[in-house]
Structure formats: structure tokens, C-alpha cells
Amino acid sequence: MIHRSIQNALQVAVAAELPDADTSRVLVRPCDPKFGDYQSNALMALAKQRRMNPRELAGAVVARLDVSEWCSKVEIAGPGFLNFHLEPEAVSGVLKEAASSDQLFFEPAIPSRTIVIDFSSPNVAKPMHVGHIRSTILGDSLARILRLLGHRVVTDNHIGDWGTQFGMLLLGWKTILDEEALEADPIAEMERIYKAINSDESLRDAARAELLKLQSGDSENLSLWQQMIDLSQQQFDMVYGRLGVGFDYTLGESFYNDELAGVVEDLRKNKIAVESEGAMIVEFPDDSPLKGQPAIVRKSDGAANYTTTDLATLQHRQREWLPDEILYVTDGRQQLHFQQLFAIHRRWRPEVSASLEHVWFGSILGPDRKPFKTRSGEVVKLAALLDEAEERAFTVVTEKNPDLDGAARREIARIVGLGALKYADLSNNRQSDYIFDWDRMLALQGNTAPYLQYAYTRIRSIFRKAGMDEVSAGEISLSTPEEFALAKHLLNFGLALEQVAAEYRPNYLCTYLYELAGHYARFYEACPVLQSGDAQTSRLTLCDLAARVLKEGLGVLGIEVTDKM
Ligand code: ARG
């Protein structure tokens, strides 16, 4: 990567000039083309710490800097920025190499880390709703991106298959279950019996009794419980299949039941948990945001809870996979839970160095800026949402391509509809709420999946017209500003991936791809490709590289492409 070479050269020059400087903070970033291709602002901070004149320091560093292999010039600008201007020859050299390699403008991360990703994690006997969509889509895309960069990723679906809801479900199953309804739509029927029992105060005790029987290993209740899990899992798998999402492990909460008592006992022995009004709690007197907000690890009725289970889960993951990092992809409303969990874990297992990250996200809102609901005010179910995405995309595709046969239009609509839905989610900063808007996400213009998928099909159609599938590598000449700009943007694919990996934000990759499509459109507008004589092979190679980056970039967002649209 040219970017990395420039950054390394700058770090060497800084180290020579300031032997005590921490050069790992000397970074080079892509910048506004007004100023150059890459920029570094590191010298200003270094000069400030040392009470030096930043422009003088910049001059001294530049005198030691040799980037002539990649840059036509390096400028010192303003109060001490360094602006790097790439040399077309160097850029075309990298493109030529990429054209004949599988690795597109990125390098595997060194060192490779082991990263456990806990995502999706729906609850048994409840429909997966739009709240789970962000976790599923975001977690899957992070897994794909981190894997592409060469990390070892372990995905684990921590489904909610244990807890007080099973008391009501069991009671409902035994007293009011409608077999036919269960057959037709198992989740809806389980949801119905749950709600019916839950809303009737007089059934509380009976439901508790069923729960206790389950917890003490009653074989009838255990087998009904298992049936509920299996039915739910089938529904989850249907949604995952449609979304193209897979997991290495599905270890639900119940998997840890036998460990819970030991965890609480260990916390007590180590004086991390103390008794309070019959419950066991952990307090955080020295932790300012958590002070005054104790975590319960055993309720006064003796039952363990979400936190206890998560501690046991952490212990298991640590033993089993020795992770460098564990990511938890959930709604932002669970922030307190994860802060407490991580704080307890630091005290309980201070020797464990894995970094624990709560990768949280905001809400999906309706047009009224309130949490997204159906027209009748219910929670939107994920399966219905996927159907609607495909249906609406079918209308769009049919308008564009009335002559294509029905099955082909259905398949394109599936790719476009699901792509649009995923991209609408991923292209937003995960921590902000966003308004769910079908028309916007399906638009063929703007920062949408259909726009990028369409850009891809336009490139493929050039190859169809040329009567070839790919282009044999040759020299690449970047003689027009549009060709050069497109080529330089291609180089930054790896940087976009790394940025996602550093902050767990796929929206950086979306922005990159959107800009790529823009560069491509300007190139296409300005530079004829077919019948361009000597330039044809070079331009076809640029087209091909742009298509490959689009496809791979969308691919790691979990989005497919199609040759026609
Ligand atoms: N089942 C939980 C929910 O639907 C999410 C679990 C997230 N993962 C975890 N290890 N706590 O809210």
C-alpha cells in the first residue's frame, strides 16, 4: 500500500529528527483533493509539545524525508501540515499489480487477532423484530470485514433461551395452546400464549411453579422447553438464510446454567459480590459512572440473571477461544449492563487481557421520529420486513426492466431489496437513530445499495458490449484527471476497511464505496472506454478494478451484486 509506505517513510524521518518522539502517532490520512492526496498533521502536535516552531520542524523533517518513489511533491502548508501529491506512475504500478492479484488494495492485518463477535442473539418464543436487524446486519458485516483483513473471527449467537418468561410459556402451553395455530405459525402462537398468561395477574403463582419445575429439571417441562427452542430456531434460521448470515456457534443462555452458582460463589469468595437484602450484588464505589448503581448477580429468590450468565459466558469464551477481543453488538439501551459486566470482569479476572467492546447502536425510527412500528402500532417483524423489501424492489426492477422474465426480476429484486435494507442500516453511523424510509433506501440515486449495485451493472455491461469477461493485464495510463482520481480512490480501499475495523463502524466503508461510484461516474462521463484505441485496455482495467472493489466492498457488507438490473 502506497499510503503505508509514505507513512512509514514519514515515521522514519520523524524518528531521525526527534529521537524521543512516539512515531506510532505520526499518521498520514487521505485528504481533501484541494490540498493533495494524503496529509499529515502530526508535526504540529509534536512541535507544540516541544515548544518548537511547527513550520521549522516540518522543514527539517521534509529535508530528511524521501518519498520520491511515490510522490511528485510534498508541501508544507498552513501552520505545519504536510501535503503529499501522488505520482501517476506509482499509482498505475499498484493498479497493474492489483489487476493480476486476488488481494485488492489491502494488506492482511499484522498481528492477526482472535475476535469473538456476539451478535443477533434474539430471544426464544418471540419473533425477531427490527431491533434485532441492526445487531444481525452490523455483526455479520463486522465479522466479514475483520475476516477479510485476516483476523480469526468466532461468531456466537447468544440466544435468550432461559429466564422467567418460560414459566408463562409453559403454563400457557399446557392450558391454552392452539395446536393448529402452532403448526401454522409457531412463533406467533407462542407469543400469543405468553401475552395471555402474562396479562393475567391471577396466574402469576401457577407460572412461577412451572418455572421452578423447569429449573429443577422436571422432564416434561424440559422437553416442552426444548420444543420451543427448536421451533424458534427454525424461524431464526429462515431469516438468517434469507439474510445470508451464519454463526460458528449458537450457545444460548441456558448453556451456562451449570456454571452460574460457581460464578456467584467465586465472586463472593473474592469479596467482589456482597449480600444485600438477601440478594448478591456488586457495587462500584470507585467507578464514577457506575457508583450508586449496583449490579445484581443473584436475586433474593436465588435465581441468577443476565449479568451472571454473561460472566459465565465470558469465562467460557476466554477458556475456549483465548480471544484478543470480544465484541457485543446490541442496542444502546444495554450500555449500563455492559459497563457493569466489564467492570466486574476486570476485578474478577484481572489477568485476562482481552479487550471487551460494547458495539452499541441507536434505534430505527418511523417517519414520526418515534420507534418504528407497523401502521397498526405493533412491532415490525423481521420476516415481514424482508418480504416487503423484496416486494418493493420488485416494483422498481419491473419499472426499469419490463422485458426481463419474471423469475429473473424476482431474483434481482431479492438482491436489490435485501441490499437496500442492509445498506440503509450500515450506511448510518451506528450510534445515531435513523428514520426508516423505503423510498430513500430503494432510490437509484444517492448513498444507497441500489445506486452502488447499479454502478456495478453498468461496468459489467461494458464488458458484455465488448464481448469479453475480463481484461488481460497491461500497462495502465492515467492521462486524464478523471482516470487519475478514480485510480487514487481505488488505492484507499484498504484504508476504509481498516477504519471500519478500528471503530467497528461499517458506515466508513459505505462512504468509501459511494465516493468510488461517484469517481467512476465522472470517469465514465469524461473517458470513452470502448473504441478508445490505445487507451481501451487501460480503461477497461480501471473499470474492472472498480467493479471488483465494488463487489468485494458490498460483499463484506453482506450485500450481493447482480450483472443486470
Ligand atoms: N438476548 C438479548 C436481547 O435480545 C441480547 C443478548 C446480547 N448478548 C449478550 N451476551 N448479552 O436483548
pLDDT computed for residue 385 by the predictor: 92
In sequence order, the β-bridge partners of residue 83 are 39, 75
**CA nearest 520: which of 542, 548, 492?**
542
- Which of 121, 335, 342 most suits a substitution to test ligand 1, by most atoms within 8 Å of the C-beta? 121
Residue 378 — very low, low, confident or very high, per pLDDT cuts 50/70/90?
confident
pLDDT computed for residue 288 by the predictor: 86
**Choice among 56-60, 97-101, 237-241, 551-555 with the minimum mean pLDDT:** 97-101
Ligand 1 centroid distance, CA of 241 (Å):
21
Please say if the pLDDT value at position 299 is more than 80: yes
Q: Whole-angstrom Cα distance, residue 463 to residue 540?
A: 8
Ligand 1 centroid distance, CA of 119 (Å):
8
C-alpha cell at position 553: 466492498
Residue 430 Cβ < 6 Å to ligand 1? no
Prediction pTM value: 0.96
Q: What is the mean pLDDT of residues 324-328?
A: 98
Residue 409 Cβ < 6 Å to ligand 1? no
3-state secondary structure of 74: strand
Residue 548 Cβ < 6 Å to ligand 1? no
Atom of ligand 1 at shortest distance to CA of 132?
A: 4
Ligand 1 centroid distance, CA of 160 (Å):
7
Please name the residue whose Cα sits nearest to atom 5 of ligand 1. Answer: 121
Q: Whole-angstrom Cα distance, residue 345 to residue 326?
A: 13
The answer to whether the CB of 11 falls within 8 A of the CB of 61 is: no
So where are the chain's domains?
Answer: 2-86, 165-243, 382-556
Ligand 1 centroid distance, CA of 423 (Å):
23
Kindly give the residue spans of alpha helices, DSSP state H, lying in 322-448. 335-348, 382-400, 406-426, 438-442
Please say if the pLDDT value at position 473 is more than 80: no
**CA nearest 517: which of 436, 427, 438?**
427
Residue 126 Cβ < 6 Å to ligand 1? no
Place domain 2-86 in its CATH homologous superfamily.
Arginyl tRNA synthetase N-terminal domain (3.30.1360.70)
Instruction: Return the residue matching grid coordinates 424440559.
Output: 222
Ligand 1 centroid distance, CA of 333 (Å):
11
Instruction: Return the residue matching grid coordinates 482516470.
Output: 483
Ligand 1 centroid distance, CA of 146 (Å):
22
Ligand 1 centroid distance, CA of 157 (Å):
9
- Interval 196-214: pLDDT, tens: 999 999 999 999 999 999 9
Please say if the pLDDT value at position 181 is more than 90: yes
Walk across the sheet containing 273-276 and list its strands.
Answer: 273-276, 279-282, 295-298
Atom of ligand 1 at shortest distance to CA of 310?
A: 10
Ligand 1 centroid distance, CA of 374 (Å):
24
Reading phi first (left if > 0) and then psi (alpha if -120 to 50, else beta), residue 217 is in left
Residue 377 — very low, low, confident or very high, per pLDDT cuts 50/70/90?
confident
Exposure string of 132-149, with b = 16+ CB inside 10 Å and e = fewer, is bbbbbbbbbbbbbbbebb
- Interval 484-501: pLDDT, tens: 999 999 999 999 999 999
Residue 330 Cβ < 6 Å to ligand 1? yes
Q: Whole-angstrom Cα distance, residue 554 to residue 513?
A: 8
Cβ count within 10 A of residue 35: 16
Please name the residue whose Cα sits nearest to atom 4 of ligand 1. Answer: 122
Residue 160 Cβ < 6 Å to ligand 1? yes
Ligand 1 centroid distance, CA of 165 (Å):
15
The answer to whether the CB of 341 falls within 8 A of the CB of 306 is: no
> What Rg do the C-alpha atoms of the chain give, in angstroms?
28
Burial (Cβ within 10 Å: 0-12, 13-18, ≥19) of residue 505? buried
Please name the residue whose Cα sits nearest to atom 8 of ligand 1. Answer: 158
**CA nearest 320: which of 159, 114, 82?**
114
The answer to whether the CB of 77 falls within 8 A of the CB of 519 is: no
Place domain 382-556 in its CATH homologous superfamily.
Isoleucyl-tRNA Synthetase; Domain 1 (1.10.730.10)
Please name the residue whose Cα sits nearest to atom 6 of ligand 1. Answer: 121
Atom of ligand 1 at shortest distance to CA of 338?
A: 11
Ligand 1 centroid distance, CA of 209 (Å):
26
